[in-house]
Chains A and B, each alone.
Chain A
Amino acid sequence: GIQVEQSPPDLILQEGANSTLRCNFSDSVNNLQWFHQNPWGQLINLFYIPSGTKQNGRLSATTVATERYSLLYISSSQTTDSGVYFCAVDEDSSYKLIFGSGTRLLVRP
């Protein structure tokens, strides 16, 4: 099956810093999403981005489908950005999302 690898596994930032999270996937995909799981466990959808670039406030994402990777950019980080960021993709011929193991982000004040 498709493999989804996220890096780095852990990241500690000072408030105001910028960061880039990476997601590599081993096969072509139709669906790629980024999620933020907050400290209360809720999964918040950030981007649906199987290709191209999108921006939403301080967050942006780029997926280069031909090279099988996606990047999530967080600028001017805030303490509320803390949590785990997941990349998830679909697996060919199945109706399920395959999640990466996540990047755990801690933003310190």
Chain B
Amino acid sequence: EAQVTQNPRYLITVTGKKLTVTCSQNMNHEYMSWYRQDPGLGLRQIYYSMNVEVTDKGDVPEGYKVSRKEKRNFPLILESPSPNQTSLYFCASSFNFFTDTQYFGPGTRLTVL
């Protein structure tokens, strides 16, 4: 089944404890992206990747890192999480950003205490 998977789906952690949210797609998509969704602010892009080893900042990259060593995986790294990173996170992927459907993962609910 074609899909975007994220892990973990739910996470409660404490300030400063490094964490990684994984994202994987099995559709051979070149484009991948991370968004966060917050009440009143909607969905905002954190980082995106056009292909392996090619990443760039979105609107709210501060406090996050990403890597794209393989086409299928695009992990989101929080080196030192803070409470303002409490949010619902989505990973997305597509063949071509402009001409194809973007498929979203199921979301990761992160709470930083």
Question: Which residues of A are interface residues toward B (Cβ below 8 A)?
Answer: 30-31, 33, 35, 41-45, 48, 86, 88, 90, 95-97, 99, 101-102
| SS of B interface (majority) | strand
Tell me which residues across on chain A come within 8 A of B43, comparing CB atoms: 86, 88, 97, 99
Contact B101 A33 (CB under 8 A): yes
The answer to whether A97 and B45 touch (CB under 8 A), given A42-B106, A42-B107, A43-B90, is: yes
- Total A-B residue contacts, Cβ distance less than 8 Å: 50
Interface-side segment among B11-19, B76-84, B92-100: B92-100
> A48 CA to B96 CA in the complex, in Å?
12
Question: Does any Cβ of A come within 8 Å of B68's Cβ?
Answer: no
| SS of A interface (majority) | strand
> A102 CA to B43 CA in the complex, in Å?
11
Q: List 23 A-B contacts (CB under 8 A).
A: A30-B99, A31-B97, A31-B98, A31-B99, A31-B102, A33-B101, A33-B102, A42-B107, A43-B104, A48-B100, A90-B98, A95-B31, A95-B33, A95-B48, A95-B50, A95-B97, A96-B33, A96-B58, A96-B59, A97-B35, A97-B43, A97-B92, A99-B42
Interface residues on B, range: 20 to 34
Tell me which residues across on chain A come within 8 A of B42, comparing CB atoms: 99, 101-102
Picked from A31, A35, A96, the residue with its CB within 8 Å of the CB of B104 is A35
CB distance from B66 to the nearest CB of A (A): 13
